[in-house]
Structure 1
Amino acid sequence: MGVRFAYHLSLFTFIALYANAQEKNLVPYVKPIIGTEKMGHTYPGATVPFGMVQLSPETDTIPYEENGHYNPDVYKYCAGYQYADKTITGFSHTHLSGTGHSDLGDFLIMPTTGKLMLNPGTAAHPESGYRSTFSHDNEVAEADYYKVKLDKYNITAELTASNRVGFHQYTFAEATDQAHIVLDLMAGIYNYGNKDVWTFVRVENDTLITGYRQTNGWARTRVEYFAMSFSKPFYQYGHQTYANDVYRGFWRKFDINHNFPEMAGRQVRAWFDFKATAGEKIKIKFALSPVSTEGALKNLRSEIPGWDFEKVKADGQAQWNKELHKINAQLNSEDEMVNFYTAMYHAFISPTTYMDVDGGYRGLDQNNHKAEGFTNYTTFSLWDTYRALHPLFNIIQPKRNADMIQSMVAHYDQSVQHMLPVWSHYANENWCMIGYHSVSVIADAVVKGNAPFDAGKALEACVTTARHRSYDGLGYYIDKGYVPEDKSGASVSKTLEYAYDDWCIAQMAKKLNRQDIYDEFIKRSKNYSNVYDAASGYMRPRLDNGTFRKEFDPLKTDNQGFIEGNAWNYSLYVPQYPAEMIELRGGKKSFSKHLDSLFTMHLPDEFFAETEDITRDGIIGNYVHGNEPSHHAAYLYNWTGEPWKTQERVRMILKKMYRPSSDGLGGNDDCGQMSAWYIFTSLGFYPVCPGSDQYILGSPAVKEATLTLENGKTFTIEAPGQSDKNVYVQKVTLNGQPVTTNSITHADIMNGGKLVFYMGAKPKK
């Protein structure tokens, strides 16, 4: 009897502990402030997973041009916020996360008191405008929650969000008859003289405002509609227009600047006045729509019908907790737990939802469309994210990744060039960076069996894109087998990346039994060798006449035939044929020495002077972690017979490039790519070649991690004895059986099971 009672008690305890483990709140491990200093370019504000609204503070407004010249400070403010700044100009509703280019920052709201001021002022003289000083001591940044005290006004600002609605809560510490809400429709990130094309605002009643803003920035023609609802009526309002906006006809019959219900112009700032009691909270719900003000109103009423700020915050954080639990990990320290779950947070911000609750969205053709059977997404930083972010999604976000691919195919359908996206956001193609890496994302999903869409049509879109002779040197590449540097810049990078993408098309064609397409593109995938110069031992730019360019420095980046890298980096970029690349470059021993030098060499000072978008913080030797072409490099030792070097390198990179601090990212997060690298590497494997079903083994930084898969199965990684000293893998087993290669397959993961790394302090040679 006693034994049976003990058994039931222990079983009950086990069930309770298991339930508690399942319900553990992982949100406290997320620190959105990570990466907000220097070059991380992340934002600290409120957003839900893949949310359409990113409600976050702006710490400065930097014009694109200054005295007629490019202003380099624009690069600092890609996310609108820099941790080192002392002032806040307001809170806007759209942001890019971790990019190397800037845009968005729409619909900036700033609560103020006292004399009404309608310009932001300057950081040096915040008293000259509506901006306020603040202290990080009074700042809180969590998943889907941001809080700060605006010292100038003694106002506490709190932000949270649903998918399509930003929720503001402003607590006025002191009673005042001069409480203002400034709505700055001129403010924006990457804001140069003609960014604002047109703005329209309509006062529907004393608590509801609607309107839209059309801009010409990085995205050439972007329109965002909004609906803005106040928790209490304002007693007066007005606006001011700038840039010589001229009203004609009936406009002159009214005082249009005060209490007139329609505001329009190229540059508009509006204000709404309230009387606030001490401690009163004035709340604002601000909904976005890519389609119409009616769509924005539907989004607002559907997602946040009431005024319970704490409920919206709790709901948003519950969404984050659910997504974070897709990987339940244990690491060696609290700091590493923060790094891991903040990486998951950053990986789950982009791409972003781009459709109303009824499926309506604006297409690339600038017409309105309905997403039928999928969620439409935007913000595709594909040159970055094809490498690790989308492969990560194929494991733990397969449904979303499939929807993202359907969004890409819809983009293709709406494209007058009949091309898949290159770098697109908000119904615009920015044509940023090189390659056509949508095909990598699509092929990776098809090869791995995550293709609940018309794969044949997707293949057609890939092939049509890759045959587009007028695109970025592609005609030369098709005819000659390489891009000539004297015809199209960054020619070596383009040649190498086109060859990789072509290999991806071949793999997809093989999967879909299209031998004709396979034959065409597997041949094209060999073009990488056409830019290899055996005399120098590097990938090197060739000219239209077939000769290699004489002027060549493998360490320099500018005008050397490469983009965001140099010959030293890009001579490692043949992910589809690593073994062939190694043989081409002198064999395993020679290649290993070159790879060693990547991490150990000392770069000359002029390297940093000519490369404005990186700092010494993001560099290890000549390995630039903030620039994606090197992200696979440390894993290449697996092809030289020296996997222990991969193991020590990746653990070193984890330590040096990721920290739980505001300057804790050694480069732009690039819409989650750097974070996805961290997640994969911490788990102990990495997709060196997306489009293949292989993951290459490294050295896990987790003690244990369980992946909860959408197919209902789980995949567990264990690393007994793993520590900062024990970074070397002694042996690996999968479901109890020895792993005799340096890789596992996608099926190994999706079938569920257990991968165990046995770790030690000395290399296992």
Structure 2
Amino acid sequence: MKTRIINIKLILLMVFFVSSCTKKSKQKAPIHAVDYTQYVNPFIGTQNEGHTFPGATTPLGMVQPSPESYNIHYKGYEMDHIAGYQYNDPWLIGFTQTHLNGVGCPSMSDILLQPLNTDTINSESRFNYKSTYTKDSEIAKPGYYKVYLDNFKVQVELTATERVAYHRYTYDNEKNAKLLIDLQYGVSWDINEIPLNILEANQQFEDDYTLTGYRKARVWAPRDLYYVIKFNKKIVKKQELTPPENKGEKAPRYILDFDMQGATVLEVKIGVSTVGIAEAKKNLDTEISTWNSFDSIRAATNKKWNDILAKFHLKANEDKKVAFYTSLYHLYIQPNNIADVDGRFRSADSGVQNAASGKYYSTLSLWDTYRAANPMYTILSPDLVSDINTSMLDSYKFMTVDSLNPKEANKYLPRWQLWGQETHTMVGNHAVPVIVDAYLKGIKPKGYSDQEIFDAVWTSLTKPHYRNHVELIDSFGYIPYDVKLSSIDDGRETVSRLLENTYDDYAGALLAEKLGKQKEADFLKKRATYYKNVYNKESGFMRGKNAKGEFKKDIDLSEVVGEWLKGSDFTEGNAYHYQFHVLHDISGLVDIMGGKTEFGKKLDNLFYSEFKPEVKTLVWNIHGTYGQYWHGNEPCHHLPYLYKYSDKPYKTDKIIKTLIDEYYYTKPDGLMGNDDCGQMSAWYMFGVLGFYPVNPTGGQYILGAPQVEQVKINLPNRNTFTIKAKNLSDTSFIVESVTLNGEVLNRNYITHEEIINGGELVFEMTEEAPLLKYLN
């Protein structure tokens, strides 16, 4: 009897143990067991000015195989084909291996491949090798793209690892399996300039299965690319084509025939490197060592994307989920790690280097991304932030100084870096706030001391280089449009350059203070106040000044100007946009504008103007405007949240809802401006969450109005932060009150620390404009 009792107890104990383990295993089940990639639509932003691409890529990968489209109505690219593709184009001309996400200048689209079934095409124009396709056959998912080419009777599938593009072609008739390779092609401002795209090239067929080579493309910034192209079928015929229109070209085009051995499938792998051909081969062999592994590579890439997408779990309708997860997808397409598997990369002028973190992130659109994308990374991926900032310090360390070249007479951190090359695009030194913001949040670069970090920041802010004009700022307290102290003072964008520089000075001052360098902190703090020197009280706008201290008069407030105009005040913006471009001292701006009520009136004049911003000196159609507000360009992105500093903070909530609902949608033309390496996408994500980094340095996020019922953020430290919007509806979208972990928030912001510590942020929503229940 006693034995039976003991056995029963053992059985019950075992049942309890199994039950407990089962419950625990369920609790530990990864959230990304859900396939979040089902909510990503890579076609969003591929029509009009979004400039995204639909092809395959891994998160932050070096390659992005994607289609190149063509429309005979285009005289040139005229900005539309910067990513190589427009959704409504009727033809595809091939598939290239590298792309940029949502930028405003053309580059990339390296190594074009187009499967064919004929060699009778007239080769005088490269665009004769085009094919129609049906939209029903075109599929795009994270890490995968598929389409059927009607003219050539072949199905194309693309996937990728970090450094290798993987193509799979299925021909209707294996006897006619051919492939065009165009090594000259690349996107440009004008399709007529493709013959000028390559500065240097050499290539060789190493055997009947392998083509290797080198090319140096010139567009936007000269780039070194080494490659290896491998085929799983033997090449039996090579035909080199005459350059189109008999124009001299540095790189050839080939048509290849294959011995398909009765099979219909041809696989192609393209490995790339900035270092050398041997390194491209090593990248390829390391990442895809066998043939017939396309499906497993696709599955592995899908998992990588799910690991990122699972950082969020939304309770929302289908459209909101698609818009949100696609934004998150776009956010992690770049920056791109261009280091080889051994951690080496080619820097701008100093040759091959070893990355301090083993990775080297380039494609840094910092003028755009410092505002929201980089702060979002600090919440979601602090390790990535550390590696990005380490890469920027690597860039500074390896930069070659040329005393004879005023642009390169001093070292500086990257401004807009592409594949390790500085493009000299845009203004400001916005690597500084990115590095400082992370540092203040406890995220430090790898392998660099505090003094080395500070030296890079200090030198970038205080030594002259292209477009920072520190000599003029230190002499006048602003940038006069009519003075040249050096050959790099050009009298352009003078107000924007000052305002952007004063923000960087503010960030640098925070770092100096943190490190106990009070003298340097005081110097930078003083310069950070110089925005007041270009505020014209009479007009209420920021305005250009000459050396005598006289403001410009008779300014067209609506005209958008930029570096293309001599004597311009602003960078891709107008007087309304830069009227409020003081990200670090909104309270000071409120004061000089006359207080909260007057500040709110000036915002009303911007958002509810009967006129729209207009480019009058270029062919540039502006979309996504809300009065004078221009959502399609970054200087405006913080403006909706500025009502939180006025006497009517609820006006932010109405504007945010309008922008989220009407300015982002789940169709190819669903972006109202260039995605700019994820900045437009990061803005959307913050808008949905209900807070935004108006000041992107230091860790405060201004409270907005959440746009979905609930969001749970799965933080990298394994904490969770949940945002809830109670009573949210299409008519109930005004914030009445906010609580954090059950305590009423008597302020208009939440901190980075409060987010990463985990907890619950609850917004009570109402239909009526409430009494102010949290401070301004």
Give the match's secondary structure for 1:39: helix
Give the residue type in structure 2 aligned to 1:709.
Answer: L
Structure 1 residue aligned with 2:495: 492
Deviations 1:428-464 (A, max 9, x none): 1111011111111111111111114333312211110
Whether contact under 8 Å (1:614, 1:626) holds in the other structure is no
Cα distance in 1 between the residues matched to 2:569 and 2:174: 63
Q: Specify every segment of 5 or more residues in structure 2 that has no aligned partner in the other structure, as ranges.
A: 1-8, 402-407, 484-490, 772-776
Q: CA deviation at 1:244?
A: 11
Give me the whole-angstrom Cα distance separating, in 2, the residues matched to 1:392 and 1:291. Answer: 32
2-side partners of 1:566 and 1:338: how far apart?
33
Q: Return 632-641 or 663-672, whichever deviates more.
A: 632-641
Secondary structure of the equivalent of 2:152? coil
Q: Given the superposition, is the C-alpha separation of residues 627 and 80 from structure 1 closer, same or farther in structure 2, using an over 3 Å criterion?
A: same
Aligned to 2:404: none
Shift of 1:278: 7.7
- 5 Å-filtered alignment, 1:147-158, equals 147-158=146-157
What is the CA distance between 1:502 and its match in structure 2? 0.5
CA distance in 2, matches of 1:736, 1:200: 66
1:468: Cα distance to partner? 2.2
Matched, 1:226 2:237: no
- CA–CA distance in 1 between the matches of 2:297 and 2:120? 31
Distance apart, 1:279 and its partner CA? 6.8
Shift of 1:735: 1.6
CA distance in 2, matches of 1:155, 1:748: 54
Distance across 2 between alignment mates of 1:114 and 1:510: 68
SS in 1 for 2:529: helix
- Aligned-partner Cα distance in 2 for 1:118–1:216: 28
TM-superposed deviation, 1:41: 0.3
Moved more, 591-600 or 673-682: 591-600
Provide the residue aligned with 1:108 in structure 2.
112
The 3-state SS of whatever aligns with 2:79 is: helix
Matching residue's letter, 2:344: G
Whether 1:582 aligns to 2:582 is no
Residues 321 and 650 (structure 1), Cα distance of their counterparts in 2 relative to 1, 3 Å cut = same
AA aligned to 1:313 is: R
Q: Where does residue 476 of structure 2 map in the other structure? A: 480
Is the CA contact 2:273–2:280 (under 8 Å) kept in the aligned structure 1? yes
Q: Distance in 1 between matches of 2:124 and 2:80?
A: 18
Return the offset for 1:721.
2.3
Q: Show the 5 A alignment for 1:183-202.
A: 183-190=181-188, 192=193, 193-202=195-204
1:217 to 213, 216, 219: 219
Output the amino acid matched with 2:496: S
Could you tell me whether the CA contact under 8 Å between 2:131 and 2:152 is conserved in 1? yes
Q: How does 1:380-395 map to 2 (within 5 A)?
A: 380-395=364-379
2:419 aligned with 1:426? yes
Contact 2:328–2:685 (Cα < 8 Å) also in 1: yes
Structure 2 partner of 1:529: 532
CA distance in 2, matches of 1:592, 1:163: 48
Q: Residues 119 and 82 of structure 1: is their aligned pair in 2 closer, same or farther, counting only changes over 3 Å?
A: farther
Whether the aligned pair in 2 keeps the contact of 1:58 and 1:89 (CA below 8 Å) is yes
Would the aligned equivalents of 1:703 and 1:719 in 2 still touch at CA under 8 Å?
Answer: yes
CA-CA distance at 1:77 after TM superposition: 0.8
Is contact 1:50–1:352 with CA below 8 Å preserved after alignment? yes
1:463 and 2:458 are equivalent in the alignment: yes
Alpha-carbon distance in structure 1 between the residues aligned to 2:106 and 2:71: 12
CA distance in 2, matches of 1:715, 1:23: 20
**SS of 2:385 mapped into structure 1:** helix
Deviations 1:43-87 (A, max 9, x none): 0000010000011000039999x7xxxx5x331111000111000
Which of 738, 744, 754 is the matching residue for 2:760?
Answer: 754
The answer (yes or no) to whether the contact 2:156–2:169 under 8 Å persists in 1 is yes
CA contact (8 A) 1:733 1:739 kept: yes
1:287–1:297 contact (8 Å) kept in structure 2: yes
Equivalent in 31, 34, 40 of residue 50 of structure 2? 40
**How high is the TM-score relative to the length of structure 2?**
0.90
Cα displacement string for residues 87-107 of structure 1 (whole angstroms, at most 9, x for unaligned residues): 001000111100011101100
CA RMSD, 1 decimal:
2.6
Aligned to 1:599: 607
Q: Secondary structure at the match of 1:77?
A: coil
Per-residue CA distance 1:705-760 (angstroms, 9 max, x = gap): 22222223222222222222221122212122221101011111121222122222
CA spacing shift, 1:407–1:61, aligned 2, 3 Å: farther
> Match for residue 24 of structure 1?
34
* 1:310 matched residue in structure 2: 295
Deviation at 1:667, TM superposition (A): 0.5
Q: Distance in 2 between matches of 1:154 and 1:643?
A: 59
Letter in 2 for 1:224: L
Report Cα offsets for 1:264-304 as digits up to 9, x if no partner. Answer: 97131122212447871101011111101111111111111
Q: Aligned partners of 1:184 and 1:117: how far apart in 2?
A: 15
**Corresponding residue for 1:261?**
none
- Equivalent in 622, 640, 658 of residue 615 of structure 1: 622
Alpha carbons 1:239, 1:269 under 8 Å: kept: yes
Looking at structure 2, the residues matched to 399 and 218 of structure 1 have their Cα atoms a distance apart, in angstroms, of: 30
Aligned pairs for 1:439-454 (under 5 A) are 439-453=432-446, 454=448
Give yes or no for contact 2:344–2:355 (8 Å, CA) kept in 1. Answer: yes
Post-superposition CA distance 1:585-641 (Å, at most 9, x none): 12211221121232222226x92554544433x211111011100100011111113
Which amino acid in structure 2 is aligned with residue 640 of structure 1? S
User: SS where residue 443 of structure 2 aligns?
Assistant: coil
Q: Using the alignment, how far apart are the partners of 1:499 and 1:557 within structure 2?
A: 22
Distance 2:174 2:584 in 1: 66
Residue 571 (1) aligns with residue 566 (2): no
1:370 maps to which residue? 354
CA gap 1:224/1:492 in 2 versus in 1, 3 angstroms: same
Q: What's the TM-score, normalizing by structure 1?
A: 0.91
Per-residue Cα deviation, 1:354-398 (whole angstroms, up to 9, x for no partner): 110011100121500111334111100111000001101111011
Asked whether 1:674 is paired with 2:658, we answer no
Answer whether contact 1:200 1:213 (CA < 8 A) is retained.
Answer: yes
Equivalent pair of 2:125/2:244 in contact (CA under 8 Å): no
Q: Distance in 1 between matches of 2:263 and 2:654?
A: 55
Mapping for residues 134-145 of structure 1, pairs under 5 Å: 134-145=133-144
Spell out the pairing of 1:170-181 with structure 2 (5 A cutoff): 170-176=169-175, 178-181=176-179
1:330 is aligned, of 304, 315, 328, to 315
Question: How far does residue 403 in structure 1 lie from its aligned partner after superposition?
Answer: 0.8
Q: Which runs of 5+ in 1 are unaligned?
A: 247-263
- Where do 1:72-151 residues align within 5 Å? 73-117=77-121, 119=123, 121=125, 129-151=128-150
* In structure 1, C-alpha distance between the alignment counterparts of 2:348 and 2:524, rounded to whole Å: 28
Match of 2:721 in 1: 715
Partner of residue 254, structure 1: none
Deviations 1:398-434 (A, max 9, x none): 1111111111111112222301111111121111011
Output the CA distance in 2 between the equivalents of 1:119 and 1:392: 48
Q: Could you tell which deviates more after superposition, 8-17 or 754-763?
A: 8-17
Identity of counterpart residues, as a percentage? 37
1:252-271 alignment, distance < 5 Å:
266-271=250-255
1:456 counterpart letter in structure 2: Q
Worse overlay, 706-715 or 285-294: 706-715
Would you say the 8 A contact 1:380–1:422 is kept in 2?
yes
AA at the equivalent of 2:473: Y
Aligned mates of 2:751, 2:135 — CA distance in 1: 45
Select between 53-62 and 221-230 the one with higher mean Cα deviation.
Answer: 53-62
The alpha-carbon deviation at position 470 of structure 1 amounts to: 4.4
Opposite residue 197 of structure 2, the aligned amino acid is K
Q: 1:19 to 1:710 in 2, by over 3 A?
A: closer
Higher mean C-alpha displacement, 265-274 vs 618-627: 265-274
Deviations 1:684-719 (A, max 9, x none): 111111112211000111322222222232222222
Deviation at 1:141, TM superposition (A): 0.7
Tell me how far apart the structure 1 counterparts of residues 144 and 257 of structure 2 sit (CA, whole Å).
26
Does the 8 Å contact 1:245/1:266 carry over to 2? no
Give the 3 Å change call, closer, same or farther, for CA 63–228 of structure 1 in structure 2.
farther
Secondary structure in 1 matching 2:492: coil
How far, CA to CA, are the matches of 1:625 and 1:62 in structure 2?
A: 31
Residue equivalent to 1:272:
256
Deviation of residue 17 (structure 1)?
A: 8.1
CA distance in 2, matches of 1:117, 1:153: 11
* 8 A contact 1:121–1:131 mirrored in 2: no
Correspondence for 1:50 among 60, 66, 70: 60
Q: Which stretch of the first structure deviates more once superposed, 87-96 or 440-449?
A: 440-449
